[in-house]
Structure 1
Amino acid sequence: MFDSVLVANRGEIAVRVIRTLRDLGIRAVAVYSDADAEARHVHEADTAVRIGPAEASKSYLSIPAIVDAAVSSGAQAVHPGYGFLAENAEFARACEAAGLVFIGPPVDAIDAMGDKIRAKATVSKAGVPVVPGASDVDIPSGGFAAAAADVGYPLLIKPSAGGGGKGMRLVHAPDELDDAIESARREAKSSFGDDTLLIERFVTTPRHIEIQVMADKHGHVIHLGERECSLQRRHQKIIEEAPSVLLDEATRDKMGTAAAEAARSVGYVGAGTVEFIMSAHNPDEFFFMEMNTRLQVEHPVTELVTGLDLVEWQVRVAAGEHLSVQQSDVVINGHAIEARVYAEDPARGFIPTGGTVLAVHEPSGDGVRVDSWMTPGAVIGSNYDPMLAKVIAWGPDRAAALHRLDRALADTALLGVGTNTAFLRGLLADNDVRAGRLDTELVDRRLSELVSSDVPAEFFAAAALDRLLELQPSGSIVDPWDIPDGWRMGASRGVVFRLKSGQTSAVVRVEGTPSAANVFVDDAEPVRVSARRDGFMLEVRHAGRFDRYRHASGPDRTVWLARDGLSFPFGEQEFVLSARGEAAGAGPVTSPMPGTVLVVKVAAGDVVRAGTPLLVVEAMKMEHTVTAPIDGVVSELPVRAGQQVALDETLAVVSPQEEQQ
């Protein structure tokens, strides 16, 4: 067994790997960029080594920096986590050359499975069914349109290297092909350093089923059952569960055998995942998609239903131990479901959010597990993936697991950064999801029902009461004139707050004191309330109801409130009324997220129509196309490709054409 292991990653996976290393009595070495100097994984490791600036290409993707950190720290082995260099054969070779054990599969296996084109050819020879398609390798120059026509629409464009949904594009018709190829190549090059593409037939009503495999250095390969990963958005998994309600025992055994054969075909060692696609209407027919030669984000659901620590077995296998678990020993117990908590705004097209974490509350209890890297003070920037945590629940059956996960998400509060927690609860409550009628397009079909930008009126009332509590005088002797209750000669007019949360505004008038007040939100009827603070909590009683909000204040006096999985920031707003009529949407086009301008598609003076792409902004490995809000002229274009921009920074100004005359 190793004495010291370096974890070549960050975020929740680094924290999770360090936890197992600690349990095994192994010294954990963390690495960090300048952006992560105070991150949780740094503080939880036994020692930590700086590897470079915030840019991933100069830190977490720098092979020399990480190998040097491992050697200088005295580590004997390197655990890559997932993402970054986890499936990079060059990195595995560099570790081997430096005398380090790479906790992952052999280089040849990474090479064979890391290239989706080669992987399909390899497993096909082993008798594993594959999805019909074509690739850059066998498509002649300029022949993509013809190849796509042969495969048939709809089709899926995929980068040959990498995974995680990055660079994948669904194309429904020939006129969408060129733009999809351009965008897919750009994202693949940015994420994986390789813009080689392949196209595949898109299976209708598809379900995404993956099989967890584990293999040792002595030829022993087992599978640990399946995970259902069909709830996705933009080919990025959102909610995963084990086992799948779709599979019967015969299909489960058939898929598990195929996955084990795929692993054997490349001499696989360690933990890996073989991913299959099948139609919800024909579960007897399944196709190999790819093999991820690393630990998966969703590995906790397998751990909860099998009772095995996959990271522990990665380490033991890398150290040369035999797998002590036989296939007949693998028993699936109960049901587990995982939800990924992202720093993103579902109401604004799931664009990444950012900011400083002001307060964190993570759920606990029977059957609840949280893998997270969140701590107060953590800064969520645009350099890395926006996943913040995973909330996982186990139950004796699927209904119990769903219920526990919903309650755990309701008890999750991350203040200071917008998240998708309420969206996750809405998705779990969907009738088809609860019935197990899943497919990879379900989220897109239900999106309008699952996403809302509305801020409940009671949150505005609570925010105003929180502000009023902040203004209350303290001390044993209080001058009545210092009490902010809006008292005037002859009557009390109350205290008025003009509040804004996201795109929603409200005027809230409070008559009285927080202990007994009438609250008016806009033109609604008043509500009699009382409120008090109890540390991290704001308690509000009204109409026989008692609500508890978690609250925190930012340095800009923004108040964050969270309850039942909902969280909103509230800032004071001055209303600005336009003195002249303006076309709807005219004026500055601002950045929807902090990030980098990748492409500028127009020039100053260009005439554009509403919906015309103006620029492409990237943040946290996600591209967002910014379009013209109206028909008009690009009168200003103050940014250029490669420029860093802030949230709501002006990218362009589009003016109605009549204003230019």
Structure 2
Amino acid sequence: MFDTVLVANRGEIAVRVIATLRRMGIRSVAVYSDADADARHVREADTAVRLGPAAARESYLSIERILDAARVSGAQAVHPGYGFLAENAAFARACADAGLVFVGPPPSAIDAMGDKIRAKRTVEAAGVPVVPGRSEPGLTDDDLVAAATEIGFPVLLKPSAGGGGKGMRLVTEAGQLADAIAGARREAASAFGDDTLLLERFVSNPRHIEIQVLADAHGEVVHLGERECSLQRRHQKIIEEAPSPFLDEETRQRLGAHAVRAARSVGYVGAGTVEFIAAGDDASGHQVYFMEMNTRLQVEHPVTELVTGLDLVELQLRVAAGERLPLSQEDVRLTGHAVEARIYAEDPARNFLPTGGTVLRLREPDGVRVDSGLVEGQRVSSDYDPMLAKYVAHGATRDEALRRLRDALSRAEILGVTTNIPFLRALLADEDVVAGRLDTGLVERRLDQLVRADLPDEVLVAAAMERALALEPSGPVVDPWDVPGGWRIGEPAWATWRIETADRPAVEVRVRGRAANAEVVVGDAGPEPARARWQDGDLLLTYRGRVRRFGCARDGDVTWLGEDGHTWALTETERLAAARHETAASGGPVTSPMPGTVLVVKVAAGDAVVAGQPLLIVEAMKMEHTITAPVDGVVSELHVRAGQSVGLGQPLAVVAPHEEA
């Protein structure tokens, strides 16, 4: 077994791999960019080596710098985690050339399965069913159009290289095809350096089922059952579970056999995942097709670990060290049920746009498995993937696991960064999810209901009372002139704040009296009694006959409140700030909805545009976001160019309505 292993990754997966290395008595080496100098994975490793600047291509994607880090740290092996270089055959070869063991499959297997076209042909020859479509190398745009016409709509465009939903496009009619091909090629080239596309028939009501496989260098290959990964947004998974509520035992064994054949077909060694797509309305489970193989550890591997009792990272390391697998297929037993939720820095109410910020306060739940790379004070930027953590619950039954995970999410608190936690709670309570009626389109169909949430008056009152408490004088003797409401003869004066959130107009909240015994007015309502105080770092608010406990953190003019898994970022604004909302429909500045890079500028200053017309494309986390015109009008100003980095809320252009132009 190795003495020292370098983990060529960051965030929660690096922390997770380091934990197994520590348990096995193996010295761990972390690597980091300047953006991660104080990150949790750096703190928890035995030693750490700087790679370079924040940009991934100059740090985590630099093969030369990672190999240098391995050399100076004395590492004998490199664990790539997932993402970055995990499925890069050139990296695996470079490790071998440098005398390092790559904890993963041989480069030939990565090459074979990394190219979806070659992968489909390889497994089809091994007797594994594949989705009907066209997957010859080098398909031109005209070839793709002809294939779509032949197969019939809807069809799915997919990059031949890479995965994670990047570059994937669903096309439902011929008129969408040209733009879809151009966008898919552009995004695939950006994410994977290869714009080769293939085209497949779109399977109706699809379910995403995957099989975990393990193989050693001595010819033994086993599978560890399946994972259901049908709950997705933007073709990327957000909830995974094991086993699947869809499969019966016969189908489970059949898919497991297909997965083992697929792994054997490329001489696979290590941990890998064979992914299948199933027709969700096929109760017999016979319409199940090979989709791709991920030649690495999967994000969702914890659910398999919880139902099998195995440590997949330990098994990866043992296989990489030349040991035989310590189990046969007959030894594999699935016990209970496990469900995982991925915590992302994103805003589901804004079509899952990536967010950012500083983690001002962190409370991660107990009673479930938490794989996390978070620490308080950490800066979350757009430089890397927005996944922050994973919460994983295990129970004797699926219902029990779902209940435990919902409860864990209700106790989680990440203040300072907008996350998808409230959305995940709503999704896990959806009646179809609870019943196991899943497909990859469910989230898109239910999105409006899943993100719909009113802003309770209690939250506005809590924000105002937090400000009142911050301004109150302290000490045994209080000068009445120092009370923020302003002492005067007759009755206390009102202290007034205008408070807004990112997607709601400002509301006026008035407070008078001391926080321990105050009156508040929200908007046009009448005055009501309220009391607030601090207890163990939380804000306790008594209002309308109920006591509520809020986690609280301040960041400039923004008050972050957290309660029952929900978070709110409330901004104290000037009185005229609400005018932005009142005049938005009449045009004006078009701003960036997230930090990122301008990929394409589709208009020039002076161009006439119509409402909804694409103006620019901004990329964040290797995903594209189209910015459209808010009204019919003229582009009176254009502030950015292609390739320029932009921040959240940065003005990109100004669209003046026709009458103003």
TM-score range, shorter chain: over 0.9
Match of 1:320 in 2: 322
Give the drift of 1:524. Answer: 2.9
1:145 aligns to what SS in structure 2?
helix
Change (3 A) 1:140 1:480: closer
1:419 aligns to what SS in structure 2?
coil
| Residues 583, 656 of structure 1: 8 Å contact kept | no
Alignment of 1:307-456 (within 5 A): 307-365=309-367, 368-452=368-452, 454-456=454-456
Deviations for 1:144-167, whole angstroms, at most 9, x for unmatched residues?
Answer: 211111122111111111111111
2:440 aligns to what SS in structure 1?
coil
Give the drift of 1:487. Answer: 4.1
CA distance in 1, matches of 2:423, 2:179: 30
Give the drift of 1:525. Answer: 4.2
CA distance in 1, matches of 2:424, 2:156: 26
| TM-score where L is the length of structure 2 | 0.97
CA distance in 2, matches of 1:249, 1:135: 32
CA distance in 2, matches of 1:58, 1:485: 54
Q: Does 1:573 align with 2:583?
A: no
Deviations for 1:154-197, whole angstroms, at most 9, x for unmatched residues?
Answer: 11111111111111111111111111111111111111111111
Segments of 4+ moved more than 6 angstroms: none
Give the drift of 1:438. Answer: 0.3
Q: Does 1:604 align with 2:609?
A: no
**What amino acid is aligned across from residue 645 of structure 2 in structure 1?**
Q
Match of 2:622 in 1: 621
- Single out whichever of 521-530 and 497-506 deviates more from structure 2: 521-530
| Residues 365, 409 of structure 2: 8 Å contact kept | yes
| Residues 136, 197 of structure 1: 8 Å contact kept | no
**What amino acid is aligned across from residue 345 of structure 2 in structure 1?**
A
Give the drift of 1:541. Answer: 2.3
1:610 aligns to what SS in structure 2?
coil
Alignment of 1:219-298 (within 5 A): 219-282=219-282, 283-298=285-300
| Residues 6, 30 of structure 2: 8 Å contact kept | yes
Q: Does 1:55 align with 2:55?
A: yes
Q: Does 1:635 align with 2:636?
A: yes
Give the drift of 1:138. Answer: 5.9
1:250 aligns to what SS in structure 2?
helix
**What amino acid is aligned across from residue 349 of structure 2 in structure 1?**
A
2:184 aligns to what SS in structure 1?
helix
Give the drift of 1:489. Answer: 2.7
CA distance in 1, matches of 2:583, 2:533: 44
Give the drift of 1:542. Answer: 2.9
Give the drift of 1:285. Answer: 1.9
Give the drift of 1:451. Answer: 1.4
Give the drift of 1:256. Answer: 0.6
Match of 1:546 in 2: 547
**What amino acid is aligned across from residue 451 of structure 1 in structure 2?**
V
CA distance in 2, matches of 1:145, 1:258: 31
Give the drift of 1:453. Answer: 6.0
**What amino acid is aligned across from residue 338 of structure 2 in structure 1?**
A
Give the drift of 1:140. Answer: 5.0
- RMSD of aligned Cα (Å): 1.5
| Residues 586, 657 of structure 2: 8 Å contact kept | no
Give the drift of 1:121. Answer: 0.5
Match of 2:525 in 1: 524
User: Aligned residues, how many?
Assistant: 656
1:187 aligns to what SS in structure 2?
helix
| Residues 347, 453 of structure 1: 8 Å contact kept | no
- Single out whichever of 130-139 and 206-215 deviates more from structure 2: 130-139
| Residues 453, 503 of structure 1: 8 Å contact kept | no
| Residues 595, 619 of structure 1: 8 Å contact kept | yes
Change (3 A) 1:103 1:578: closer
| Residues 161, 192 of structure 2: 8 Å contact kept | yes
Deviations for 1:564-593, whole angstroms, at most 9, x for unmatched residues?
Answer: 1111112211122769x9682411101111
- Single out whichever of 132-141 and 624-633 deviates more from structure 2: 132-141
Give the drift of 1:476. Answer: 2.0
CA distance in 1, matches of 2:163, 2:77: 24
| TM-score where L is the length of structure 1 | 0.97
**What amino acid is aligned across from residue 181 of structure 1 in structure 2?**
I
CA distance in 1, matches of 2:592, 2:102: 41
Give the drift of 1:546. Answer: 2.2
2:209 aligns to what SS in structure 1?
strand
Alignment of 1:558-569 (within 5 A): 558-569=558-569
| Residues 139, 196 of structure 2: 8 Å contact kept | no
- Single out whichever of 381-390 and 451-460 deviates more from structure 2: 451-460
**What amino acid is aligned across from residue 643 of structure 1 in structure 2?**
Q
| Residues 596, 645 of structure 2: 8 Å contact kept | yes
Deviations for 1:522-545, whole angstroms, at most 9, x for unmatched residues?
Answer: 123444322211233111223442
**What amino acid is aligned across from residue 513 of structure 2 in structure 1?**
G
CA distance in 1, matches of 2:235, 2:398: 24
| Residues 487, 494 of structure 1: 8 Å contact kept | no
Deviations for 1:90-131, whole angstroms, at most 9, x for unmatched residues?
Answer: 000000000000000011111110100000000001100000
Match of 2:193 in 1: 193
Deviations for 1:178-219, whole angstroms, at most 9, x for unmatched residues?
Answer: 111111111111111111111111100000000000111111
Give the drift of 1:141. Answer: 5.9
Change (3 A) 1:586 1:402: same
CA distance in 2, matches of 1:37, 1:447: 37
CA distance in 1, matches of 2:532, 2:140: 70
CA distance in 2, matches of 1:158, 1:324: 37
| Structure 2 unaligned spans of 5+ | none
Match of 2:11 in 1: 11
Change (3 A) 1:478 1:490: closer
- Single out whichever of 15-24 and 568-577 deviates more from structure 2: 568-577
**What amino acid is aligned across from residue 13 of structure 1 in structure 2?**
I
Q: Does 1:153 align with 2:153?
A: yes
Give the drift of 1:254. Answer: 0.5
| Residues 158, 169 of structure 2: 8 Å contact kept | yes
**What amino acid is aligned across from residue 520 of structure 1 in structure 2?**
V
Give the drift of 1:329. Answer: 1.3
CA distance in 2, matches of 1:359, 1:326: 45
CA distance in 2, matches of 1:7, 1:120: 31
| Residues 138, 196 of structure 2: 8 Å contact kept | no
Deviations for 1:447-489, whole angstroms, at most 9, x for unmatched residues?
Answer: 1111136422211111111111111111222212222234433
CA distance in 2, matches of 1:184, 1:75: 39
**What amino acid is aligned across from residue 164 of structure 1 in structure 2?**
G
Deviations for 1:217-258, whole angstroms, at most 9, x for unmatched residues?
Answer: 111111111000000111000100011111110000000111
CA distance in 1, matches of 2:536, 2:65: 44
Deviations for 1:634-660, whole angstroms, at most 9, x for unmatched residues?
Answer: 111010001111111110011112323
**What amino acid is aligned across from residue 358 of structure 1 in structure 2?**
L
Match of 1:45 in 2: 45
| Residues 373, 388 of structure 1: 8 Å contact kept | yes
Deviations for 1:433-452, whole angstroms, at most 9, x for unmatched residues?
Answer: 00000000001110111113
- Single out whichever of 452-461 and 7-16 deviates more from structure 2: 452-461
**What amino acid is aligned across from residue 443 of structure 2 in structure 1?**
V
**What amino acid is aligned across from residue 145 of structure 1 in structure 2?**
V
CA distance in 2, matches of 1:233, 1:578: 34
| Residues 144, 198 of structure 2: 8 Å contact kept | no
Q: Does 1:172 align with 2:172?
A: yes
